[in-house]
Amino acid sequence: AQTVTQSQPEMSVQEAETVTLSCTYDTSENNYYLFWYKQPPSRQMILVIRQEAYKQQNATENRFSVNFQKAAKSFSLKISDSQLGDTAMYFCAFLYSGGGADGLTFGKGTHLIIQP
């Protein structure tokens, strides 16, 4: 079974700063997907970014980018030019690409606070 670890329970930065959230995972699989989901105070989980393990190029989505290190089993999220609306819980998640029957395995989350 896979595990996902987020070692930062909470982070706080000033608006417009860049912040990096860390995530490590453990799996014996070779083909999988990694995700970052955002859960604002309204609690609906929103997909931020995803990475296919077979792709070496790091995924980017506007202000959001990842640093995927497959050998190190590390998958960090960088948020550039942070905005007040980025305040939320951020969850790193793993999905085995062999069937998806178990769905996503989530970390415990990082509470990101953007200060004005």
- Residue 105 engages another protein in binding (rule: CB under 8 A): yes
Buried b (16+ CB within 10 A) or exposed e, 29-50: eeebbbbbbbeeeeeeeeebbe
Phi, psi of 86, deg, nearest 5: -80, -10
Distance CA 52, CA 66 (A): 12
Nearer to another protein, 12 or 100 (CB): 100
Window contacting another protein (CB under 8 A); options: 18-26, 55-63, 78-86, 89-97: 89-97
Q: In the numeric block, which tokens belong to residue 93?
A: 């998640």
Of 17-76, binders to another protein (CB under 8 A) are 33, 37, 42-47, 50
- Residue 11 engages another protein in binding (rule: CB under 8 A): no
- Residue 100 engages another protein in binding (rule: CB under 8 A): yes
Beta partners for 19?
A: 79
- Residue 113 engages another protein in binding (rule: CB under 8 A): no
Task: Tell me which residues touch another protein (CB under 8 A).
Answer: 4, 33, 37, 42-47, 50, 91, 93, 95, 97, 100-109
